[in-house]
Amino acid sequence: MTWIKEHFLRHGEPPVDQPVDPPVEQIVDSIHRLVTATGRGRHSGLDQLAIGLYALAADAEPAARAMDVLAAVDPLAWIDLDLAVRRQSPPPPLDCRSHAAPAAVAPEPATPLAVALAACGWNGRERARAMAHPAMRSEAGLLPLLLVRTTDWVDPVRDRALRVLGEVLADAAALPVALPIAVPVAVRMGERVRGRPALEQVRDALMRAGQETLDLVLGSPDSRARRFAYDVLVQAGRLDHERLVAAALHEPDQVSRTRCAQALAARAVAEERPEHAVEILDDATAQGRIAALTALVQLGHPEHGPRFLGDNAGMMRLTAQWAVRRAGGEPAELYRQRIKAGGATRGLLAGLGDCGTRADDALVLPYLRDPRSRVRAEAVRTLRRLGSRADVTALLEDPAPVVVRNVVAAVQASGPGVAAERLWALLGTGHPLHVRRAAYRLLVHRDPWSRVRADLLLVRDPDEKLRGRARDDLVRWCRSSTAPPARLPAGWRAEVEELARAAEGVLSSENARLLHLALRLFA
């Protein structure tokens, strides 16, 4: 194995002049660095890692240390490492592939690491033998690879791996160690063509596991593992009230957090316990708050609705408005009162847009000058939703892109609205990029010749995104067969022709030809 060690050690190291047998300590250290890098999402060192593992597999003490390194990082590493090890293993002999003669029996793997490497090899017989090795049942570090083999393309390997997995998961004493390792890998394997049987075995094991084991799984650093566990346990009703509340309020994964909040709200309705919904009403996710408020209204407590009328989540506002109506109130009037009181938030302006009328635009206009950019943007959006004819074009030069985007939407909804001369001026390079992009969007939708002129002005622009949009739009116009409804303005003819000649270096020869042809036909 000396040549393998040399190959491995040279990766990322200065070359050596003479063949050497490098110290095991040095190889173990390199394995640790490569495993850590792989855990951070970099897979470029997997092949070298596989070579290093082969270098240590036959020696018990170094092999055990390498397995400790692998077990201490991320069980998901074996999913990619499986392929890397196979790339470094010798292909099966010809007699094995052609079935002309029985393959020679390889020696029994001497270490768990050797078992792992055999389980990744090309030879299906060797993979099957590795599944039957006692280490597959006793070594927790091999469990991720056992799960990988449950999706093997060879039936005997896959069947044996599933049988061994079932034995491991049937051991109640082993579950506290096995399940936290198995769930993250099983979730990924479940996405493969043959992955459902293993995932179902893990699901069944979760249903049988004790509470301490479940706490370990639910505390996994892997969000997808926690999500799977919450789905299984919530559906089975295995989470008590305290755990549901804690997850609904504090679980980092938003999907799991919402799932638990919805389960808690459903339980509150089923048990007629409105106080359970109140516990999560303020701090759950938006979908969780919606479920909690809906449950309270169903339980006859719509009085919680008014304080959520200004929620930033649209569906939560609508639910709050429904609650207010169920209590006999009128949400639009409440919005008017709160906005008149001053200091309106985004949510209050949006809520007025939900249920107000055009006559409410006077309440919104002062907020076009609000120091908060999100409030200014919402004021523009609310005016558009109310059908207001207020002029918001002064905000086309707002320093906040979110405001300018909403102004563009308002202008496009109500017609041209902005003087052409101003748009051409805003298209110039002296303005902020988001203002130039807004001017371009309005110009290309203004009329066909404004579109062509704007495209030609920007096909050589310094901004890559503007340049790309202009070029693609110009090509689409060249390839269309529809003539513009009006002739090219006489004052633009010389400029457009000059810009078209300048664009030849940017467009392909065919598109340049089509551009000149279109100008001759339609200009």
| Distance from C-alpha of 437 to C-alpha of 2, rounded to nearest angstrom | 62
For residue 222, pLDDT over 80 is answered with yes
| Distance from C-alpha of 473 to C-alpha of 468, rounded to nearest angstrom | 8
Would you say residue 466 lies in a domain? yes
pLDDT level of residue 43 (50, 70, 90 thresholds):
low
Which of 204-213, 333-342, 506-515 has the weakest average pLDDT? 506-515
For residue 429, pLDDT over 90 is answered with no
CB atoms within 10 A of CB 343: 10
Average pLDDT, the chain: 86
Range of the domain at 281: 239-307+316-326
| Distance from C-alpha of 177 to C-alpha of 187, rounded to nearest angstrom | 17
Would you say residue 18 lies in a domain? no
Structural domains of the chain, count: 2
Inter-residue contact 334 to 347 (CB < 8 Å): no
Inter-residue contact 30 to 8 (CB < 8 Å): yes
Would you say residue 299 lies in a domain? yes
pLDDT level of residue 45 (50, 70, 90 thresholds):
confident
- The pLDDT value recorded for residue 423 is 94
- The pLDDT value recorded for residue 242 is 94
What does DSSP assign to residue 106? P
Q: Which residues contact 327 (CB under 8 A, 6 or more apart)?
A: 302, 303, 305
For residue 91, pLDDT over 80 is answered with no
Inter-residue contact 86 to 121 (CB < 8 Å): yes
pLDDT digits (tens, 9 = 90+) for 358-406: 999 999 999 999 999 999 999 999 999 999 989 999 999 999 999 999 9
- The pLDDT value recorded for residue 303 is 95
Would you say residue 11 lies in a domain? no
Q: At what angle do helices 464-479 and 433-444 cross, to 10 degrees?
A: 10
Q: What is the dihedral of CA 222, 227, 228, 231, to 10 degrees?
A: 160
For residue 416, pLDDT over 70 is answered with no
CA atoms within 13 A on the CB side of 280: 40
For residue 40, pLDDT over 60 is answered with no
> Residue 491 is encoded by which pair of tokens?
């004052």
Share of the chain above pLDDT 70, in %: 88
- The pLDDT value recorded for residue 505 is 80
> Residue 166 is encoded by which pair of tokens?
């079932």
What does DSSP assign to residue 458? H
| Distance from C-alpha of 15 to C-alpha of 9, rounded to nearest angstrom | 9
pLDDT digits (tens, 9 = 90+) for 287-346: 999 999 999 999 999 999 999 999 999 999 999 999 999 999 999 999 999 999 988 899
For residue 93, pLDDT over 60 is answered with no
- The pLDDT value recorded for residue 415 is 63
Question: Rounded to an integer, what is the distance from CA 150 to the centroid of its chain?
Answer: 27
| Distance from C-alpha of 42 to C-alpha of 287, rounded to nearest angstrom | 35
For residue 26, pLDDT over 70 is answered with yes
Which residue, 326, 356, 376, sits at the end of a domain? Answer: 326
Would you say residue 523 lies in a domain? yes
Which residue, 297, 326, 355, sits at the end of a domain? Answer: 326
pLDDT digits (tens, 9 = 90+) for 142-182: 999 999 999 999 999 999 999 999 999 999 999 999 999 99
Range 457-463, long-range pairs (CB < 8 A, 24+ positions): 457/427, 457/499, 458/427, 459/503, 459/506, 459/507, 460/502, 460/503, 460/506, 461/429, 462/429, 463/433, 463/436
More confident call, 454 vs 488: 454
pLDDT digits (tens, 9 = 90+) for 96-146: 444 433 444 456 667 888 898 999 999 899 999 999 999 999 988 899 999
E strand intervals along 99-252: none
Would you say residue 279 lies in a domain? yes
Inter-residue contact 31 to 22 (CB < 8 Å): no
Would you say residue 43 lies in a domain? no
Inter-residue contact 410 to 392 (CB < 8 Å): yes
For 404-414, give one letter per residue: b (16+ CB within 10 A) or e.
bbbbbebbeeb
- The pLDDT value recorded for residue 100 is 39
The CA-CA-CA angle for residues 86, 28, 72, to 5°, reads 80
Would you say residue 507 lies in a domain? yes
- Summarize the confidence of residues 198-206 as an average pLDDT: 96
- The pLDDT value recorded for residue 480 is 78
Which residue, 326, 359, 375, sits at the end of a domain? Answer: 326
For the chain, how many helices (H) and strands (E)?
Answer: 31, 0
Q: Rounded to whole angstroms, what are the CA distances from 190 to 110, 185, 201, 214, 217?
A: 31, 9, 11, 20, 17
